[in-house]
Amino acid sequence: MSAKRVKIGLIGLGTVGSGVYRTLKAFEHIEIAKIAVRDKNKPRNIPDLDQSILTENPLEVVNNPEIEIVIELIGGIEPAFGLIQTAVENGKHIVTANKELLAKHGEELFNIAEKHNRVILYEAAIAGGIPIIMPIKTILTGNNITKIEAILNGTTNYILTKMDLQGLSYEEALKEAQELGYAEADPASDVEGFDAAYKITTLATLAFKERVKLDKVYREGITKINAQDMKIANELGYKIKLTASAYFDENNNADVRVHPMLIPKQNTLAHIDYVTNAVSLTGHPIGEITLSGPGAGAFPTASSVTGDVLAIAAEIGTTDYLLPQMRCRHRKTANVINILDTENRYYLLIEAANVKGVTGKIGAICAENNISLKSFIQKDISENNTAAIVIITEKAVERDMLNAISEFKKDESIINVNNLIRVQLY
């Protein structure tokens, strides 16, 4: 006896949607009944695409009584939110890759889903083809996860890798990423850290079992990183990566942020290059594990979407309450501490006049602000008789570090504070 064919509705047939369509066609018990697109007449490189199932009206997907699972792949807030809500209210389960929607409206959507006894799965929304959501919800559920350090944006990782390995400027590396299709014409979502912030918000919520609010997540992009920073970091034994991190301390405070970080070369994340993503989790009893792989692309993302679809399809008709482990169980909002109150180590590049006493001033200002220096290096003197001074601090409070920088900028012998980059603590 053949298995029941589960009918699927697909909203979006772009790069990821096309990969999902091609992948799901291989499963005989899955039938793609309707696909919503912007333009039915747009040429598509999809063999054997049945044009009759295309529609420019997504309501034909979410209101179709035969469809049991809706896949949302259009991104953004609206119309995605409204379409998912309508689909759930019409009794459909949801698979989505929409990281922004989950970060901003996840709580509301999961409450709607629970009210109507439906599930929302989103493996593809965090790290593309890397399986991370279902492992946290299932095989790792017995762990007390206290730390996440991850590279969650392939575009920025590609840019930083090219700057590191080939000495390109930020502008040159960005242009190349755009030419290869890794970066959008407007790259702000990636290079300013928004994309990674959406992802770490949801990932931290899952791992810590307390809801993290996006507006509490500190975010800083890579636009200030330059080739000189890359060169110096390498000389000091580090790589610069845009990291998304979350820490949960013994007092139940969460520290969730996205920013560039100097990572020691012996650390696994330092060697995650180009468009590859990686997630490192630390907890008890597992210790530390790292999962890495393609964070985007048609088929890696389709892998995660397809896994979610098949997980739902396998339970349809077998139970009245599907996939209980995968449902949202968060009843508490995490206390996310302000970045100003966090402790970090810092890399600072200072341009100063080559005059007596300037190094003493820098040291004195640091001491006055409770900052101890781990290393202090004066680079070559330039033609205009200025020196590049690199300092690496011991652990210090962010607020104190920013106060020290304000004092540096008031001193006439200190010409410029070029960059401040946090250094991985452990």
235 contact partners, CB below 8 Å, separation of at least 6: none
User: Tokens 């996440």 map to which residue?
Assistant: 148
Q: Which of 316, 338, 329 is nearest to 141 (CA)?
A: 329
Q: Extract the tokens encoding 245.
A: 């991190």
Residue (of 300, 299, 277, 281) closest to 290 by Cα position = 281
Residues with Cβ within 8 Å of residue 266, at least 6 apart in sequence = none
Q: Which of 344, 348, 345 is nearest to 408 (CA)?
A: 348
CB atoms near residue 328 (< 10 Å) = 17
Closest CA to 94 of 207, 213, 11, 36: 11
- Of residues 199, 224, 332, 379, which has the active-site annotation? 199
Q: What region, left, alpha or beta, does residue 385 occupy, with left being phi > 0 and alpha being psi -120 to 50 degrees?
A: left
Q: At residue 415, what are phi and psi to the nearest 5 degrees?
A: -80, -40
Nearest to 220 by CA among 153, 120, 265, 299: 153
Q: Which of 243, 306, 348 is nearest to 29 (CA)?
A: 306
Q: Which residue in the block uniquely carries the two structure tokens 């005989």?
A: 28
What are the strands, taking DSSP E only, across 226-269? 238-248, 253-264
Token digits of residue 98: 């929409």
Based on the residue annotation, tell me whether 361 is a catalytic residue of this protein: no
User: Can you tell me whether residue 166 is helix, strand or coil?
Assistant: helix
CB 17 within 8 A of CB 327: no
Of 286, 296, 294, 107, the residue nearest 212 (C-alpha): 107
Question: Catalytic site residues?
Answer: 199
